[in-house]
A and B are shown apart, each in its own frame.
Chain A
């Protein structure tokens, strides 16, 4: 009840106004939303690319963080959506970002603020690499992002 009320308010506000580079793709239910984000400056890594984020909300949102990850749409489809290359983004779309963990989350955050955080995370990046052990993690991980104990060691991004 609390979550749906808050999400509907957020949605109303986002339909009214959204920051540049962020668009709503799917928000027809109050459990899973999809957002498209673009990197606005001329970072060569992400230029002319659009990435798709999937938000999954629990009924304790915003007290609990939403589950946020990139999803891939194949390049053959009408709107190809790759997984951005980033030292904190695994190739299966899972994002290692402390504000998405239950420890780093604050109920003050919104879908919009999360999108902007990820946008800025990409903008600031200059390294064309995946996180260390990406292939192992991708092949062995069956856990959901919220259950993974990330170690947030990089304060630069």
Chain B
């Protein structure tokens, strides 16, 4: 039984305060506890109680606050309960007191997160540290600032706050809420089949105002006249539907026909107009022209009446113009090809002329060369200065100019010359 001074107690308090995670004073007690187990300062069951010389017990923290408030002089401190001057504090209190305080049933501090555990107060710390699945932990993903319940922490250390698509519906929910989300889905499904749910009569679409629980629906349906009429109504509905369908078809066909008629009318207008033009050119007024004029007026009235017809006629006239243009183009085409043909013929004739001229020139050249050749054969080894006297330099230059006058006697030995002479002759 050793006591410590008040200053030592104060120093201890700050050391011990750090490892306390669960605030035992804020726990919600379930069982009622004796007032004698209550610290007179904080009115909670003792938390780490200490005892004064006068045997009055307080929580260490509460006594600490009381001492600090008496900051004037530690020596004057008196027991808050009995005002006995106190200098020492005993840390050991009866084991009985500690056990009774630790045995008080409290709710888990994570109750707001969903933990329903009721545990002795002495086990709260270990429950919170080790077993409570609802304790809020930091998300293992350091980039995520949200907190997650301990039981939802995945072993792989993934972040469970990313939205995932639910398998049953198209909603996006966070992975950690998946369980509750699925439960809600199950509830919705149950509501669809629950016999207690108030459900309208199946004939409500035919006007039955009755709404009863699903269990009583069968009995109602036996007496409901609208249900008895149900098949008849449905047959009528089906008939109406099919009739509507055929009406729609007929409308479509009608539209097609109307279009066709409009086309025919516009072509009639065109033809009657051309007819009228043709007949007005001879300038004789016979009844046929009048009737044509009449029909033209009638039809023109008709087609100006509707814009569609006007547009159609516009289209027709444009088509006519295009036809005319294509005609003109083919005309031009034919004309151009004719011109080409003419040019070609003229050129061919010219070529024939030049060919003939070339032929006659060749004839003349041969005729001019012949006497010279004959002369050369007859001359033999005679000095060939006659070469210089040749009147045609163009024909003489080829074989003779290369040899020159001094080598004229060698000429018969040249193979090329003899060959050429052979061909020319």
Contacts and interface: CB of A to CB of B under 8 A. Distances in A.
Interface stretch (B37-45, B341-349, B382-390, B404-412): B37-45
Name, among A102, A106, A108, the residue most crowded by chain B CB atoms within 10 Å (CB to CB).
A108
Given A2-B42, A5-B26, A10-B43, A107 B83 contact: no
Name, among A5, A63, A102, the residue most crowded by chain B CB atoms within 10 Å (CB to CB).
A63
Interface stretch (B62-70, B188-196, B209-217, B266-274): B62-70
A62 interface: yes
Contacts of B83: 106
Name, among A2, A13, A64, the residue most crowded by chain B CB atoms within 10 Å (CB to CB).
A2
Contacts of B44: 5, 9
Contacts of A64: 69
A2 B44 CA distance: 11
Contact of A5 (B25, B40, B66, B69): B25
Contacts of A102: 69
A108 B69 contact: no
A interface, size bucket: 10 to 19
B140 interface: no
Name, among B43, B62, B66, the residue most crowded by chain A CB atoms within 10 Å (CB to CB).
B43
Interface in A42-73: 60, 62-64
A107 B66 contact: yes
Contacts of B66: 63, 106-107
B81 A5 contact: no
Contacts of B62: 107
A146 interface: no
A62 B41 contact: yes
Interface residues of B, number: 15
A10 B38 CA distance: 12
B26 to A, nearest CB: 7
A128 B81 CA distance: 32
Given A5-B25, A5-B26, A107 B65 contact: yes
Contacts of A62: 41
A26 interface: no
A106 B81 contact: yes
B42 A108 contact: no
Interface string A75-112: 00000000000000000000000000010001110100
Contacts of A60: 69
B80 interface: yes
Contact of A108 (B25, B40, B65, B68): B40
Interface in A1-17: 2, 5-6, 9-10, 13
B10 to A, nearest CB: 14
Contacts of B40: 107-108
A60 B26 CA distance: 17
Contacts of A6: 41-43
A62 B80 CA distance: 11
Contacts of A9: 43-44
Contact of A107 (B25, B26, B80): B80
Given A63-B66, A64-B69, A108 B41 contact: yes
A106 B42 contact: no
Interface string B41-74: 1111000000000000000001001101100000
B215 to A, nearest CB: 46
Interface string B102-114: 0000000000000
Interface string B204-245: 000000000000000000000000000000000000000000
Interface in B275-323: none
Contacts of A10: 43
Contacts of B68: 63
A103 to B, nearest CB: 9
Contacts of B42: 2, 5-6
6 contacts: A6-B41, A6-B43, A63-B41, A63-B66, A106-B81, A107-B65
Interface of B: 25-26, 40-44, 62, 65-66, 68-69, 80-81, 83
Interface of A: 2, 5-6, 9-10, 13, 60, 62-64, 102, 106-108, 110
Which 9 pairs across A and B sit closest by C-beta, in order of nearness?
Answer: A108-B40, A106-B80, A9-B43, A107-B41, A108-B80, A63-B69, A63-B65, A108-B81, A107-B66
Given A63-B68, A106-B66, 17 more contacts: A2-B42, A5-B25, A5-B42, A5-B44, A6-B41, A6-B43, A10-B43, A60-B69, A62-B41, A63-B41, A63-B66, A106-B81, A107-B41, A107-B66, A108-B40, A108-B41, A110-B43
